Protein backbone atom coordinates (compact mmCIF):
# COMPACT_ATOMS: atom_id res chain seq x y z
CA UNK A 1 0.00 0.00 0.00
CA UNK A 2 1.23 3.47 -0.85
CA UNK A 3 0.53 6.49 1.36
CA UNK A 4 -0.56 9.64 -0.47
CA UNK A 5 -1.37 13.23 0.45
CA UNK A 6 -3.01 16.05 -1.49
CA UNK A 7 -0.66 18.93 -2.23
CA UNK A 8 -0.63 22.15 -4.24
CA UNK A 9 2.87 23.10 -5.35
CA UNK A 10 3.52 26.42 -7.06
CA UNK A 11 -0.17 27.24 -7.59
CA UNK A 12 -0.72 24.27 -9.91
CA UNK A 13 -3.86 22.98 -8.13
CA UNK A 14 -4.31 20.06 -5.74
CA UNK A 15 -3.23 16.58 -6.75
CA UNK A 16 -2.21 13.33 -5.04
CA UNK A 17 1.46 12.86 -4.12
CA UNK A 18 3.27 9.85 -2.69
CA UNK A 19 4.60 10.21 0.87
CA UNK A 20 8.17 9.23 1.73
CA UNK A 21 8.80 9.31 5.48
CA UNK A 22 12.55 8.84 5.06
CA UNK A 23 13.23 11.79 2.72
CA UNK A 24 13.54 15.54 3.23
CA UNK A 25 12.92 16.39 -0.44
CA UNK A 26 9.86 17.44 -2.41
CA UNK A 27 9.65 16.44 -6.07
CA UNK A 28 6.94 16.77 -8.68
CA UNK A 29 6.89 15.50 -12.24
CA UNK A 30 7.09 18.13 -14.97
CA UNK A 31 4.38 18.27 -17.65
CA UNK A 32 7.19 17.62 -20.17
CA UNK A 33 8.66 14.70 -18.22
CA UNK A 34 10.10 11.73 -20.11
CA UNK A 35 11.07 8.30 -18.82
CA UNK A 36 14.10 6.19 -19.70
CA UNK A 37 12.18 4.63 -22.63
CA UNK A 38 11.77 8.05 -24.28
CA UNK A 39 8.04 8.08 -23.49
CA UNK A 40 6.10 10.54 -21.34
CA UNK A 41 6.43 9.82 -17.63
CA UNK A 42 2.75 8.86 -17.62
CA UNK A 43 3.58 5.75 -19.67
CA UNK A 44 4.75 2.38 -18.40
CA UNK A 45 6.73 1.70 -16.23
CA UNK A 46 6.61 5.00 -14.26
CA UNK A 47 2.94 6.01 -14.55
CA UNK A 48 3.81 9.50 -13.27
CA UNK A 49 1.27 12.27 -13.75
CA UNK A 50 2.86 15.30 -15.46
CA UNK A 51 1.77 17.85 -12.86
CA UNK A 52 4.07 20.88 -12.83
CA UNK A 53 3.87 23.34 -15.72
CA UNK A 54 7.26 25.03 -15.86
CA UNK A 55 6.09 27.70 -18.32
CA UNK A 56 6.38 31.13 -16.71
CA UNK A 57 8.36 29.82 -13.73
CA UNK A 58 12.06 30.54 -13.44
CA UNK A 59 14.11 27.80 -11.77
CA UNK A 60 16.56 28.82 -9.06
CA UNK A 61 18.90 25.97 -10.04
CA UNK A 62 19.16 24.09 -13.33
CA UNK A 63 19.51 20.37 -13.96
CA UNK A 64 20.43 18.31 -10.94
CA UNK A 65 20.34 14.53 -10.54
CA UNK A 66 18.74 13.13 -7.42
CA UNK A 67 16.62 10.30 -6.04
CA UNK A 68 13.59 9.90 -3.79
CA UNK A 69 11.30 6.97 -2.98
CA UNK A 70 13.15 4.72 -5.42
CA UNK A 71 13.00 7.20 -8.32
CA UNK A 72 16.19 8.48 -9.96
CA UNK A 73 15.55 11.69 -11.84
CA UNK A 74 16.94 14.83 -13.42
CA UNK A 75 15.21 18.05 -12.44
CA UNK A 76 15.31 21.79 -12.00
CA UNK A 77 14.84 23.43 -8.60
CA UNK A 78 12.01 25.93 -8.09
CA UNK A 79 11.15 28.14 -5.13
CA UNK A 80 7.39 28.59 -4.63
CA UNK A 81 4.56 28.19 -2.15
CA UNK A 82 3.45 24.72 -1.03
CA UNK A 83 0.08 23.79 0.45
CA UNK A 84 -1.20 20.51 1.85
CA UNK A 85 -4.81 19.49 2.33
CA UNK A 86 -6.24 17.26 5.04
CA UNK A 87 -9.65 15.92 5.96
CA UNK A 88 -9.94 18.16 9.03
CA UNK A 89 -8.56 21.42 7.62
CA UNK A 90 -8.94 22.98 4.20
CA UNK A 91 -5.33 24.07 3.78
CA UNK A 92 -1.92 23.98 5.39
CA UNK A 93 0.14 26.53 3.44
CA UNK A 94 3.67 27.80 3.68
CA UNK A 95 4.17 31.42 4.62
CA UNK A 96 7.42 31.48 2.66
CA UNK A 97 8.46 29.75 -0.53
CA UNK A 98 10.14 26.35 -0.41
CA UNK A 99 12.60 24.72 -2.79
CA UNK A 100 11.29 21.69 -4.66
CA UNK A 101 12.36 19.69 -7.68
CA UNK A 102 10.40 19.49 -10.93
CA UNK A 103 11.66 16.32 -12.62
CA UNK A 104 11.79 16.37 -16.39
CA UNK A 105 13.44 12.95 -16.77
CA UNK A 106 12.91 9.77 -14.69
CA UNK A 107 15.63 7.22 -15.38
CA UNK A 108 14.99 4.82 -12.50
CA UNK A 109 11.83 3.56 -10.77
CA UNK A 110 12.95 0.92 -8.31
CA UNK A 111 10.17 0.77 -5.69
CA UNK A 112 6.92 1.47 -7.52
CA UNK A 113 7.64 0.13 -11.02
CA UNK A 114 4.34 -0.64 -12.72
CA UNK A 115 2.18 1.29 -10.23
CA UNK A 116 1.23 4.95 -10.11
CA UNK A 117 3.87 7.54 -9.26
CA UNK A 118 1.05 10.06 -8.82
CA UNK A 119 2.11 13.76 -9.18
CA UNK A 120 5.35 13.42 -7.27
CA UNK A 121 6.71 12.66 -3.82
CA UNK A 122 6.41 14.68 -0.60
CA UNK A 123 9.32 13.82 1.68
CA UNK A 124 8.28 13.99 5.32
CA UNK A 125 11.59 13.20 7.01
CA UNK A 126 12.64 15.10 10.11
CA UNK A 127 14.36 17.90 8.12
CA UNK A 128 11.66 18.28 5.46
CA UNK A 129 10.42 21.84 4.79
CA UNK A 130 6.90 20.43 5.20
CA UNK A 131 7.31 20.71 8.97
CA UNK A 132 7.58 24.50 8.59
CA UNK A 133 4.00 24.70 7.33
CA UNK A 134 1.56 25.96 9.90
CA UNK A 135 -2.20 25.54 9.93
CA UNK A 136 -4.00 28.42 8.36
CA UNK A 137 -7.08 28.65 6.25
CA UNK A 138 -5.89 30.51 3.18
CA UNK A 139 -6.80 30.50 -0.45
CA UNK A 140 -3.83 28.76 -2.13
CA UNK A 141 -4.74 30.26 -5.49
CA UNK A 142 -4.72 33.88 -4.31
CA UNK A 143 -0.89 34.13 -4.37
CA UNK A 144 -1.25 35.92 -1.04
CA UNK A 145 -0.84 33.44 1.83
CA UNK A 146 -1.49 36.17 4.40
CA UNK A 147 -5.09 36.67 3.29
CA UNK A 148 -7.69 34.56 4.99
CA UNK A 149 -10.14 32.45 3.05
CA UNK A 150 -12.91 34.62 4.53
CA UNK A 151 -11.37 37.74 2.95
CA UNK A 152 -12.56 36.38 -0.40
CA UNK A 153 -16.09 35.38 0.62
Q: Percent of the chain at pLDDT above 90?
A: 40
Q: Is 8 helix (H, G, I), strand (E, B) or coil?
A: strand
Nearest alpha carbon to residue 101 among 74, 82, 127, 124: 74
* CATH code of residue 141: 2.40.70.10
pLDDT tens digit sequence for 43-90 = 988 899 999 998 888 889 878 899 888 889 999 999 988 888 877 766
Query: Containing domain of residue 26, as a range?
Result: 4-152
- When pLDDT is averaged across residues 11-30 and rounded to a whole number, the result is 92
In the chain, the number of structural domains is 1
Contact 141, 11 (CB under 8 A): yes
Pairing of strands 71-80, 61-68: antiparallel
Amino acid sequence: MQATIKANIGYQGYSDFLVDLSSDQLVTWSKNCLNSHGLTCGAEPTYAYGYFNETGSAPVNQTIDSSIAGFNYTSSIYDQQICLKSEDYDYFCSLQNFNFSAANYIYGDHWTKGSSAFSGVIGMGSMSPIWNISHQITDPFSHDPYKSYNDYN
